[in-house]
Amino acid sequence: MFSLLDFFFKDHDFLYVGMAAAVCMLSAYACMSLLRHAVGMEGRTRTIWLTVSALSVGLGIWSTHFVAMLAFRAGFPLQYDIVLTGVSLLIAIILCGVGLAVAVRATTIHDRFLGGAVVGAGISAMHYVGIAALLLEGRPVWSDGLVATSIIAGIVLSGLAIVTAMGGSRWRLIGGAVLLTLAICAMHFTAMGAADFSNCLPLIHNGFDIDWQMMSLIVAVITLLILTAVLGSIVLDEADRRRTEREMLREQLDADRIASVTQKLELALTHMGQAIALYSAEGRILLHNERMLELLGLPSHTSVEGKSLEELAMMSYGFNPDDELGLAGVERIAREHRELAQRGGEIVHAIGDRFMRVRHNPIGDGRWVTMMEDISESKRNEAAIAHLALHDTLTGLPNRAQFDELFERALVEAEEKSGHVGVVAMDLDRFKEINDSYGHATGDQVLRVLAERFTSVLKPGEVVARLGGDEFAAFKPFSSIEALREFLERIEGVLFGNVQHQEVLIATGGSIGVATYPEDGKDRSKLLSNADLAMYRAKADFDAHICYYEAAMDESARWRRAMVKDLWNAIENDGFELAYQVQKSVATSEITGYEVLLRWNRPGHGWVSPADFIPVAEECGAINAIGAWVLRTACVEAASWPSQHKIAVNVSGVQLAQLELVDLVKMVLYQSGLAPELLELEVTETAIISDKKRALNTLRQIREMGVSIAIDDFGTGYSSLETLRSFPFDKIKLDRSFMQEVENSEQSKAIVRAILALGRSLSVPVLAEGVETIEQLNVLRHEGCNEAQGFFLGRPGRMTWGDQKLVSLVMA
């Protein structure tokens, strides 16, 4: 180190050293300035600026070397080989040009450093070729360590110079120029210190050399060229500065005129819910808003300008570049979008759990604008709506629409494969009672739990659906009857169980009807209808929960449909008649009233028992119209009788459930003129218990009018003391079934005696139905019964009056 410093201070003319440093600094500054200009250019223009920059630094390095050589006191005049001197200049220009080109095209700091390192290598190569151009007798002795140090210093400092100069500020430009100057000077003087010229003498002039005076002239010319380049770069900088100021001023003036529009546009781009991007004709992003990064799932600081469609797809989808299958997918997606961008249109892509609607709009020059919108919420809404359209909202099971669709598919497949399908209709028992007794929340919970249990026992291909209310349906493709039975056992196991809700334990049950394809039908509606028929048969059979369809059920169904049609015709055409059966006091045999009985002479069938047609009328809804006709007709006829007698009219459970019954009774009494105390309505406890709260409220309103209320068929069905306690009935009607054995059966007699005692304790009179013998009447007298009716006391018939007296009771 000390010998190097000693060499520098003793063997150099500092005037020339200063000149060398000045030339080096000027050329370094010109190079860095021109290089920065080249970065902002494209194509041919960039090449021109790179060439000028390479010339500037190459000439500068060369000039610095030879000016410094002029400063070197070798002890004799130095002469140079003209060819090697020229070669050294070319080496400086070419290698520095390559390094600068690498730096200009670099995308990372490492690439820029590499470009600077190539420039450093050019500096070293130029120097040692320039030393080789010296015409000397003998060879200089070299220090290998200092030679290596000179090369490394040139490479490292040049790399740092390029990295520093290509920043944004002017100070970085100056810093880069200083570092490049240090690289050139450090390399040169370290290399010179590595050489020992003590064994060297000048060669004789041979005509192809350059003496030091000529070299001084050449260096002066080149220095002028460098100064020209520097002045040119300064002029360019000043021109750029002024042009930039003018452009900024013009832009400011334009901005002042359209400031509000620009602000609105910027706000719109920043805050718009859609992503927007401008693509080049090559499919690379030129411009985008922040929303695009957000929708692609990329961090906000991600730089995507210049990225291709393939690169974007890999970034957003997360493909591995080494995965050939992934790359194929990327290329396919990019190809689809390029083709779509040429003609315009939109496509929906799934990115993770999100859905994106992408629309491309070509703008005519190969470029296109892309709009991207997150439609995940609308997709979820569509899916929810689609789910609601095909599923029951309460239980989540398939609804009727989806069941029909799935059932149709199963039938088609069964037909193609000659298979079988079993279809099941299910109806819960006493579900209305659950709702009435424990509330609809409990009823809903029962349905939900049953649905969960159904779903848990299903196997592939099996379906259970809720059709509405407490109705369920199911089907199963099967190849053996054992498989169908096993399915039904699972269904029955779910249907019959317990459901806990809050502090209530509900026992569930139901009726199951089964029909099979193709034995019981070949189309969906026929099979479902037949399964329903079988289910109703199961409901009527207390000993069986599952009933298979039989052809005879069809006959019964057709019979019921025909009866329904005739019932409505009878309502429209006044096809019903009334009969009256007398009610008498057991003790005095005085008439206490008449029970109104409905009769129907069905065309083509004759007289039909009410026991046959009343249930059908209740099922089809005709009972309301029939009941209103009976009440109105009976009241009108009773009001016209010369002698006033109470009439008893039966009210069905269906009528009792209608809120309009109170208004109907009130209107009929008003229109007929019948006194309310002459009307008695008979209801069964079964009719009351189906909706007890509503039924008792309706009866209270009717009783407040003065109309009597009797409980009919007491002793059968529920016969709950709670019902008698909850409502003040005016009469208890003992069911006729007890009178059939009352003469010979002590048990029947005991039951009659108990009911009569119950009536006396409640101060409610008891009427016995079905009295057909004097013996039965005597038993009632002995036990203290209040009233009676039956064939022994009078058969039902039509009323005819003459001279305002009862003349006859014509039998019907």
Contact between 23 and 64 under an 8 Å Cβ cutoff? The reply is yes
DSSP secondary structure string for all residues of 514-534: EEEETTT-SSHHHHHHHHHHH
Residues 6 or more apart in contact with residue 332 via CB below 8 angstroms: none
Contact 599, 577 (CB under 8 A): yes
**Burial of 217 per CB tally in 10 Å (0-12, 13-18, 19+):** exposed
Distances in whole angstroms, Cα of residue 173 to Cα of each of 36, 63, 161: 9, 22, 9
419 within 8 A of 429, measured Cβ to Cβ:
no
Which residues does residue 428 pair with via DSSP β-bridges, in sequence order?
510
Q: Which amino acid is at 778?
A: N
- Tokens at 226, concatenated: 């460098």
What does the DSSP 8-state code read for residue 480? S
| d(C-alpha 454, C-alpha 600), whole Å | 46
Q: Using N-to-C axis directions, what is the helix angle for 14-39 and 144-165, rounded to 10°?
A: 40
Closest to 95 (Cα-Cα) out of 67, 124, 130: 124
Residues 6 or more apart whose Cβ sits within 8 Å of residue 501: 438, 441, 442, 445, 446
Among candidate residues 479, 463, 456, 477, the one with its CA nearest the CA of residue 426: 463
Q: Is 518 left (phi over 0), alpha (psi -120 to 50) or beta?
A: alpha
Q: Who's near 89: CB < 8 A, 6+ residues apart?
A: 58, 59, 62, 126
- 256's CB contacts (< 8 A; 6+ apart) are none
Rounded CA-CA distance 176/162 in Å is: 6
**Positions marked active-site:** 769
Number of other residues whose CB lies within 10 A of the CB of residue 356: 19
Q: Which residue has the tokens 């410094």?
A: 68
